Amino acid sequence: MKKVLFQDLGTMEYKQAWEYQEELFNKVMQGKLNKTPEPNYLLFCEHPHVFTLGKSGEEENFLINNDFLKQIKATYFQTNRGGDITYHGPGQLVGYPILDLEQFGVALKDYIFKLEEAIILTLAEYGIQGNHYKGATGVWLDTEVPNKTRKICAIGVKASRFVTMHGFALNVNTNLNYFTYINPCGFTDKGVTSMEKELGHIVPFNEVKEKAKINISKVFGMELVD
């Protein structure tokens, strides 16, 4: 099993977490290029209210102006991950794996599938049936019911020479009102949900973290080291 360093960053501003990811990403990349492998990382955190737009995203999917952004105590960043616009905030589990996929024998498409799979396994432990959704990344519910299909976990990654950064955002006890200020991931006809909404009660956040850690390590065949 491949050892991966796990770090729980707690609540961290998006920009600070992005800069930290870049630092680790560059270390892993340099190690790869110099043939002196660096450790791989899995970071967990929560962000204060923030909207992020992926490099292939459309600004029209951001539906509010700067004045309203300040009113709702949120920030906005154009970022270098794939995907369109999404929201991060309190009660949402954000995971940033910084992995050299070649060390795991995983192609990029399979990597995204495996990330989704780890979240699907985590949701299943709470009786929530998550699914892959053809033509879209992330984890979805009721994919076979056109008017009820909704997303519970967003995924957006960047990879260069098979080294990854950015990752997933699982809505645990997230304030879903913030998603009404965007077309989430560019969709205008799909809903967004959370574990709290689906179960009808607050979900123990640290418990979800632990289950997600275990399922990510299982799916990728990694040993997480604190």
Altogether, the residues listed in the chain come to a count of 226
On the question of pLDDT at 126 being above 70, the answer is yes
Among residues 185, 192, 208, 216, the one annotated as catalytic is: 185
End-to-end CA distance of the chain: 15
Longest CA pairwise span in the chain (Å) = 51
**Can you give the three-state secondary structure of 153-187, one letter per residue?**
EEEEEEEECCEEEEEEEEECCCCHHHHHHECHHHC
Q: Are 76 and 64 in contact (CB under 8 A)?
A: no
Of 189 and 9, which is predicted with more confidence?
Answer: 9
31 vs 24: CA distance, rounded Å = 11
On the question of pLDDT at 188 being above 80, the answer is no
Q: Are 69 and 111 in contact (CB under 8 A)?
A: no
172 vs 123: CA distance, rounded Å = 10
For the chain, what are the domain ranges? 2-225
DSSP 83-136: SSEEEE-TTEEEEEEE-BHHHHT--HHHHHHHHHHHHHHHHHTTT---EEETTE
Mean pLDDT, rounded, for 196-217? 98
Band of residue 21 on the pLDDT scale cut at 50, 70, 90: very high
Q: Please write the tens of the pLDDT for every residue from 41-96.
A: 999 999 999 999 988 888 888 899 999 999 999 999 999 898 889 999 999 999 99
pLDDT value of position 187: 67
pLDDT value of position 183: 83
Band of residue 130 on the pLDDT scale cut at 50, 70, 90: very high
Architecture of domain 2-225: 2-Layer Sandwich (3.30)
183 vs 63: CA distance, rounded Å = 8
Pairing, β 131-133 against β 136-141: antiparallel
On the question of pLDDT at 189 being above 80, the answer is no
For the ranges 22-26, 61-65, 221-225, the lowest mean pLDDT is seen at: 61-65
Q: Are 43 and 98 in contact (CB under 8 A)?
A: yes
Mean pLDDT, rounded, for 97-125? 96
For the ranges 129-133, 179-183, 215-219, the lowest mean pLDDT is seen at: 179-183
Give the residue from 151, 161, 34 showing the smallest Cα distance to 108: 161
pLDDT value of position 186: 65
Mean pLDDT, rounded, for 28-36? 94
Active-site residue, 45 included? no
Cα angle 7, 128, 149 (rounded to 5 degrees) comes to 105
pTM: 0.95
pLDDT value of position 84: 85
> How many Cα atoms are found within 13 Å in the side-chain-facing hemisphere of 110?
9
Residue tagged 């399979």 (tokens):
110
Mean pLDDT, rounded, for 180-206? 88
